[in-house]
Amino acid sequence: MTFKEAIQEVKALANGRYYSLRYEFSDFNHLYRKTTAECSVYIDKYTYYVGPTWREAIDILKSKMEKNENQEEMPDEENSIAEAV
């Protein structure tokens, strides 16, 4: 996935809310012979989600958004009890 594609997908998920994408590349070759890359995505009211690729970071964000939506749809236990009485 390209950066431009990641922006388009996160923008659509944000649905008008603030969103941000970050890419970080670190070169530790002088110490550990290792490089790392991190892709992070953020939408207002969610935290940053990080993955080694845009797809993984976006999939984590989508999963958290779906869980949040499911929790909002579940009836509040106190209200359910009050309605039953």
Domain ranges, residue 60 = 3-70
Q: Tell me, yes or no, whether 82 lies in a domain.
A: no
Q: Tell me, yes or no, whether 60 lies in a domain.
A: yes
Q: Tell me, yes or no, whether 84 lies in a domain.
A: no
Q: Return the HEC string of 58-80.
A: HHHHHHHHHHHHHHHHCCCHHHH
Q: Provide the number of structural domains found in the chain.
A: 1
- Per residue in 31-84, pLDDT (tens digit) is 878 888 899 999 998 888 999 999 999 999 999 998 887 776 655 554 444 454
Predicted pLDDT at 85:
45
Q: Tell me, yes or no, whether 49 lies in a domain.
A: yes
Q: Tell me, yes or no, whether 27 lies in a domain.
A: yes
Identify each DSSP E strand in 1-85 by its residue range: 19-27, 35-43, 49-51
Q: Tell me, yes or no, whether 14 lies in a domain.
A: yes
Q: Tell me, yes or no, whether 31 lies in a domain.
A: yes
pTM, to two decimals: 0.73
Place of tokens 């996935």: 1
Residue partners of 60: CB distance under 8 A and separation at least 6 = 49, 50, 51
